[in-house]
Amino acid sequence: MKVSISYKKNTDQKIISCSREIIQNTSEYTAFFRKLGKSEKEGCQILLDAPASADMLCLAVSALHDGAYSFSRECLRQLNPHEIFEKRDLLANYGEGEFTFLLSEPSIAESYAVDEGSRHGTCKGYARTLGNLPNNYLHTENMEAYALRLADDLNISCQILHNQELLELGCGSLLAVNQGSRRQAAMIILNYQGSDGKEPPIALVGKGLMFDSGGYHLKSINGMDGMKYDMCGAAGVLEALELLVRKKVKRNLTAILLLAENVIGPDALKMGDVITTLSGKTVEIYNTDAEGRLVLADGLTYAQRHNSSLIIDLATLTYSAQAALGDSITGLFCNNEEIYGHWSASAQKTCEKFWRLPLDLSYHRQLEWSICADFANYAPGKGGGAGIAACFLENFIREGTKWIHLDMVGPSVVRTETDEMAKGASGVCIDTIVEFICTLDKNIA
């Protein structure tokens, strides 16, 4: 796929107009270009019926990539799972179409916007490919290899902690979730220095359940369908970091990926077990299928121990969020009004949809029934599951730490192919995370 700008029409290629009404409605605008990318396999010339800013042009190019993307089954046939990074451009198929924006006087800013849009679309495609890979091609060690190769390519640091290091550190929560697996758990920490070394890093924490069977609270066949996607939070964080580093954003960043498998085995976590998290707080296990909050708990604590005062976590966490908001809107929880205001402004620019849900004392109280631990990981028989999970996580947020929790179960996956996007992982939230950090005033965080 090739995207460019020109002032000269090509009489041999189709011209498609984007109307003034669509350009002025950002939601329709992204949908228009996604449909175009998906339907026009040979490409076309695009005539904008009203002026569009460089940001809008970037958004259009990114949306074209969203629509054109499909996962390459042909490449998978020859794939060595240890070479996913090297083959990632082959695994993401965008076709051979050429798209040209017809502009009266193409400028350097518009040319840059096209390049930026292509970079956004491509990095989201990488995240989608990681999500789409079958679990037997993408185990924890394969995700580690990908992260190491990416860090080397970006010239940033990458540290990986396995079972022994996690045990010595005290990450009892992450280790507990992985107990049933013959593979080791992993915490991947990537650090980027884009600013003064004394500036606290912004932390991005991603849930990376490489597969989630539910543990001894085994999922049904319908519930287990698609559980290879339970690592989309980690994939999204990794590719948001790649975009930010390639943009040379002037902020210090730490990405923390929590990788585990929630499967059944002789040592798997059981109902009634009590675990000790990295924070020192204890948790009684009521539901082994409420595991995502457990791995995130250790990641949030680790981020704060390493001086992060602003944390964004990304997770396919609860089906309660999907039940409340559907497949197009991400559930958002935030403990700071100024940060939430900036997030909302960023989301307006990226056209991604979020809905703020409450962090409430009543949810905390529903987790405080254990006689053996500080609290439980689940509130049996209660509604408001997304809020309860978020409040479980809030127990690990120190006073003064600014925090955004994104529960993206619904929009993380396109469950049925649409006229905008192929079936599979969606790359949701990456654009807004990048926009949020790139435009964040240092006086806010």
Q: Any idea which residues carry the catalytic annotation? A: 219, 293
24 contacts 54 by C-beta, under 8 angstroms: no
Token readout for 401 is 């730490």
Q: List the Cα angle 242/243/248 in 5-degree steps.
A: 95
126 contacts 92 by C-beta, under 8 angstroms: yes
Counting runs of H as helices and runs of E as strands, what totals does the chain give?
17, 19
148, 167, 285, 376, 389 from 372: Cα distances, Å? 40, 22, 10, 9, 20
How far apart CA 404 and CA 395 sit, in angstroms, is 14
Other Cβ atoms within 10 Å of 380 Cβ, number: 9
* Identity at 280, one-letter amino acid code: G
How far apart CA 240 and CA 187 sit, in angstroms, is 18
Residue 250 is classified by DSSP as: S
Instruction: Please spell the DSSP secondary structure of 97-147, one letter per residue.
Output: -EEEEE-SS--HHHHHHHHHHHHHHHHHHHHHHHHHS-TTTS-HHHHHHHH
